Amino acid sequence: MIEKKLNENLTLTGYGATEEVGRSAFILEDGEHRVLLEAGIKLRPNELSLSPEGLIEKAPELDAVLLSHAHVDHSGYLPALWENGYYGKLYMTEPTLDITFVLWKDHLKIEGRRHWSYEGLERAYENTQTVKYHERVEIAPEIFATFYNSGHILGASMILIDWKGTKILYTGDINDQQTPLFDGFEMPDEEIDVLITESTNGIREIIPRHEVNKEFLAAVIETLERGKKVIIPCFAVGRSQEVLCVLTENIKDYPIYVDGMINKMIAITEKYLDEGWVDGPLIERLKKEKVNSPFKYSNVFPITPEFYDSTGEFRTFLGKAKEPLIIVTTSGMMMPSPLHTHLRFAAQDKGNMIAITGYQAEGTIGREVLDGKRTIQVSGWNRKSTFDLKINAKVQRFGFSGHVSSQGLKDLISTIKPKKIIMIHGDPQNQADLKDKLTNGVLPVVAQRNIPIKLQ
C-alpha cells in the first residue's frame, strides 16, 4: 500500500486556546488558502475580556471561517472579522446561529463596542451559511467541511475538514457522556490524518453522568421534602437545559422557577427537538409523556413579567414564599445576576440548598464559595451597590462536565487512527497529564500560541 503523503505546506496556528481555555482561534493554511476555526473571547471575572492575540491582522487574508458551537469562548470575537477586512462566509449549524446571535447581542450590552459594534454583528449574521450535520460543504477550492454532533451543547459540532485530500478532525468541545439531550459525541466513520483535540479535563476522573444526576436529584428532593428551597446557579447555554430535563422528568409535585437568559435558550432549544439535532432517548421520553417539550410542565414557571408586572416583584414574591420550591437561574458562576436577588432571600436559611452544577473559574464568586468562603459580595437592588451576604444555606457541588474524559479521547483515537495529534484548549498541567496517557504510537503535540505547527 502506498502511504498517503500529507500536504507538505499545511500548518495550524493557534491565536488563543492553545495552552489555556478561552478565546479559541486557529488558522489552517497551506500558502494558497487560509481557513479560520473559531474566534472567541476569554471572559475574566471583574476584568474586561481578552481577544485572540495577533488574529485580527489576518482577517483580510481568510478564505472561510468555521464555528463549532455557540459558547462565547469560541464565537464572541467573530463579528470583529467583518470590521477588519474579511468579506467571506461563516459556517455553523442552524441552532448554533440562533444561540450565537443571542450571545452576541448580550455581549454588546455587557462590553459595548470594545471588540466590535452592531455593524460587525449584522455582517457576521448576514454572511453565515448554516449547515446540517453530515452535510459536506465546499468552503474554499478543494477544501470541504462536514459537521458531526459533538454532544456538548445544542448544535455543537466536531468539524471534519478535507483539505485537498488531507483529513483533519477538529473536535471543538466534545462530551462522551450520555446527557439528557445527547448520547455522547458522534464517531466519524473514517480514518483521519490529523486530530486537533480539546484537552479541558486532562485525566481528571469524570463521574458517569447518570450517577451525577442521581446524586443531584436525591439532594434536591431531600431539601424539598424538608420544606426548604433549592437555588441552582446554572449556565444559560447547555447545562441549564440538562438540569431542567432531569428535574422535570422526576419532580412533578414542587414548583420549578426558571430565571434569566435560560428562558431564551429554552425557546431556541424547543425549535430543535427532533432527531436531526437531539438524540433518541429525549424524543422517546417526549412521546411517552405526550408532551412537546421537556421544559413545559404545569409545575414549571419562567420568571417573566407574564405573572407579575415586573420580574423584580416576582422574585420578591418567591423570596418571601414559605413553600418549598426550586429556582434555576443564571449566573452559573454566581456572578452579579438574577441569582443575587434570590440569594438575598434564600442564603441565610441553613435548611436551603445552593446546588453548584458547573465549572467555577478562578476569580469568580462561585469559586470563592466552592473554596469555603461564606460571606460574599452580592449586588444590591439597583445593581449598582454591593453588600456582604452571609451564606448559611448548604452548598453542594455536583460533578457535571460538558467535556470529554481521557477514556473518551482514547476511544476516539483508536477509531480514527490519526497520524498526528495536536492538543489545544486545556491548561498546561492537564495537557501534560493527558499527553502521557494518550500513547497509541503517536505522541501528541501541544499547540503554543502564534507558533505554526506543520501537519505533515
Q: Binding residues for Zn ion, per CB under 5 A?
A: 71, 173
Closest CA to 79 of 49, 29, 113: 113
Nearer to Zn ion, 99 or 325 (CB): 99
Q: Least Å distance between CB 74 and Zn ion?
A: 6
Closest CA to 103 of 87, 124, 89: 124
Residues 420 and 194 sit within 8 Å (Cβ to Cβ): yes
Q: Least Å distance between CB 54 and Zn ion?
A: 23
Closest CA to 63 of 17, 30, 96, 92: 30
Closest CA to 247 of 301, 292, 310: 301
Closest CA to 243 of 398, 71, 395, 102: 398
Q: Least Å distance between CB 24 and Zn ion?
A: 9
C-alpha cell at 455: 501537519
Q: Least Å distance between CB 452 and Zn ion?
A: 25
Q: Least Å distance between CB 70 and Zn ion?
A: 8
The C-alpha atoms of residue 23 and residue 202 are separated, in whole angstroms, by 19
Q: Least Å distance between CB 72 and Zn ion?
A: 9
Q: What are phi and psi of 365, to 5 degrees?
A: -65, -35
C-alpha cell at 428: 498546561
The C-alpha atoms of residue 206 and residue 203 are separated, in whole angstroms, by 9
Closest CA to 249 of 289, 209, 208: 289
Nearer to Zn ion, 173 or 368 (CB): 173
Which helix (H) or strand (E) segment holds residue 220: the answer is helix 209-225
Residues 171 and 371 sit within 8 Å (Cβ to Cβ): no
Nearer to Zn ion, 254 or 277 (CB): 277
Q: Least Å distance between CB 441 and Zn ion?
A: 30
Q: Least Å distance between CB 323 and Zn ion?
A: 36
Radius of gyration of the chain (CA): 22
Q: Least Å distance between CB 99 and Zn ion?
A: 11
Nearer to Zn ion, 71 or 342 (CB): 71
Nearer to Zn ion, 27 or 67 (CB): 67
Give the contacts of 207 (CB within 8 A, at least 6 positions apart): 399
Nearer to Zn ion, 311 or 331 (CB): 331
Nearer to Zn ion, 173 or 176 (CB): 173
Nearer to Zn ion, 174 or 413 (CB): 174
Residues 377 and 368 sit within 8 Å (Cβ to Cβ): no
Nearer to Zn ion, 83 or 173 (CB): 173
